[in-house]
Amino acid sequence: MKNLSFHYLEAMEPALNNISITIKEGDFTVICGPSGCGKTTLLSLLKKEIAPAGELEGTLTYLGKALSEWDDRTLIEEIGFVFQDPDNQIIMDDVMQEMVFGMENLGYSNLEMRKRVAELVHFFGMEGLLKAKPSELSGGQKQLLNLLSVLLLKPKVLLLDEPTSQLDPVAAKNLILMLERLNKEMGMTTLLVEHRLEELFAIADHVIVMDKGFVRYEGESRDIIEAIFQNNDERAIPYVPSISQLYMKKAQYLEKTSIPLTVKECRSWIRTVSPLMSTEQKAANDKNESILSLQEVYFQYTKKTPYILKNLALEVKQGEFYTIVGGNGSGKSTLLKACIGNIKPQRGRVLFREKETSKLKGKALYNNFAYLPQNPKTYFIHDTIDKEMQEVVEQKKIDNGEEKIVEMLCTFEIEHIRHQHPYDCSGGEMQKAALACMLLGSPTILFIDEPTKGLDPLSKQHFARLLKQLHQKGLTIVMVTHDIEFAAKYAERCAMMFDGAIMAEGTPTELFQGNYFYTTSVNRATSGSGLTGTLTLEEALASWPNHVPI
């Protein structure tokens, strides 16, 4: 790819600016950067069938020949593309049909199809799922299915657009392991756009950091980390894995070759540092009366399916930031639905200030509750955010609404999208806009479902800062998430959900320390050393000894 620039139609600024990248055969390349930096545009330009409409300057070459000179069929076969959302890219209503969809279109013989399916299904270990319906699969399984159906065409290059952004940590790790295996065992050239980078830096041969349509950094993982820290680039630092950040900030003699990328490397480095530190515990705060309480809640969707919630008890106090973590299918989202009274449990009670939530109606409901769903698209009913906010003002009869609206827009830093259609905004912006609308009515309690899905590290930081502000103003927040790093950093009290019940509850430190999976990578790297008990980078930095004797 050489001197590539790309303009979207009707756009003033180019989405991509003079980009030159060469990707070698067999490389595992990771592209990262904040939302809207052009990484997805870049990726889709490489796949001719879905290339966005616009003005393209420069040349794209594949195996020494310009992309436009290749015939369609070869390109479809040789360049595979996996999309972000696991649901949207599934076309057929049957796993088997879905797998062979691509091959059917290209008119392969039945022998060839059977051969490929047999081989790859076995490699993926998906034999048990062949007869299933896509709607019965978990997100992780869906994404593996998507990868598998692309691989059946035997591509030489694999392009993936944030494939793990909708998955929980365990499923995401599975997918990444699969990609690593494909790359190592078959030499598959892989080009991955991703936000979640903790593990990817260790796997990648080649990392590209983009911003505003430019390539900022390009090279091997360690070179890039070094370059970012040398420039002290605030916008890029959040992308560096936290264990490497720890090293860059605290190691005495920086050596490029020993920058730790994996937990293993970090542990061996920490071992060379003398354990001197003491960790202070965050003081848990006992306060206020309970605002929401669940008592012995049991719930099942139909009579014949197993209970999703079993003997679940939970108490949230006024002004608390409460987080619930747990894997896919542990019942987190169902729990949240029970909290907001959207489902009525078969047994047990869900009380909001001594009243059952499922019986709350009208004003008692919308003046107290706010619920930010996983997908904020479900919230908007009007074609601009402005109209949306006006409607809330009208419904709740808020005095001097206009002032309030402006104030909200300012706090959330979204004045620039006030007159846009919600669907035209980025995920992070849409989330903020929905939240702004809800908070106009100053609710008592805010429920959030997986807010960090698909957000880049920068927006995540912004979002967390906002939540913290709101929390300090006295808003009670109940959040469901699988992002442990996020929960560890900001929550006051955490609960771990497993098999339909709250298995453990406590401060983040109490809960996440020493776990294998449900913990942060910093904790995994430091447990057993002098830093035992630190969960987040910030904590590790704070409790780091000032003088490190070696």
Partner 1 sequence: MENGFRSYHPFVQFFYYICVGTLAFYFKHPLFLGTACLLMILVNVSHDRGKAVRQWIPALLVMSTLIIVLNPFLVSRGTNILFYFRGKQVTLEATIYGITMALTIVIILLLFISFNLILNGNRFLYIFARILPRTAFLTMLSIRFVPLLKKRLQEISAVQRIRGLSITEGSIRNRAKTGQLRTQILLTWSLDESMQTADSMKARGYGIGKKNPYIPYRLKKHDWGWMIALLALFSICIAGGALGYGKMIIYPKLGTLHFYPLDWVLFYAMLLLHSFPLIVEGREQLRWIFSK
Site residues (vs partner 1, CB under 8 A): 47, 49-50, 72-73, 76-77, 80-81, 83-85, 87-94, 96-97, 100-110, 113, 133-135, 149-150, 153, 337, 340, 342, 361-363, 365-366, 369-371, 373-375, 377-381, 395, 423
- Our CB check for partner 1 shows the closer of 423 and 517 to be 423
Least distance between partner 1 and beta carbon 190 (Å): 16
- Our CB check for partner 1 shows the closer of 133 and 416 to be 133
- Our CB check for partner 1 shows the closer of 447 and 486 to be 447
Least distance between partner 1 and beta carbon 203 (Å): 24
- Our CB check for partner 1 shows the closer of 287 and 421 to be 421
- Our CB check for partner 1 shows the closer of 89 and 174 to be 89
Tokens of 535: 């969960």
Q: Residue 63, Cα to own-chain centre: how many angstroms?
A: 33
∠ CA 506-170-120, nearest 5°, is: 170
Least distance between partner 1 and beta carbon 85 (Å): 6
Helix axis angle for 169-186 and 139-151, nearest 10°, is 20
CA gap 161, 436 in Å, rounded: 29
CA gap 149, 260 in Å, rounded: 35
- Our CB check for partner 1 shows the closer of 50 and 254 to be 50
CA gap 119, 313 in Å, rounded: 47
Least distance between partner 1 and beta carbon 131 (Å): 9
CA gap 63, 51 in Å, rounded: 19
Residues present in the chain in total: 550
- Our CB check for partner 1 shows the closer of 341 and 428 to be 341
Least distance between partner 1 and beta carbon 93 (Å): 4
- Our CB check for partner 1 shows the closer of 274 and 342 to be 342
> What single DSSP character describes residue 302?
S
Determine contact, residues 101/153, Cβ cutoff 8 Å.
Answer: no
Q: Give the SS3 label for residue 16.
A: strand
CA gap 486, 520 in Å, rounded: 9
Helix axis angle for 139-151 and 110-124, nearest 10°, is 140
DSSP codes of every residue in 148-209: HHHHTT--SEEEEESTTTTS-HHHHHHHHHHHHHHHHHH--EEEEE-S--TTHHHH-SEEEE
Least distance between partner 1 and beta carbon 230 (Å): 39
Determine contact, residues 446/438, Cβ cutoff 8 Å.
Answer: yes
Least distance between partner 1 and beta carbon 251 (Å): 44
Least distance between partner 1 and beta carbon 152 (Å): 9
- Our CB check for partner 1 shows the closer of 33 and 102 to be 102
Least distance between partner 1 and beta carbon 514 (Å): 36
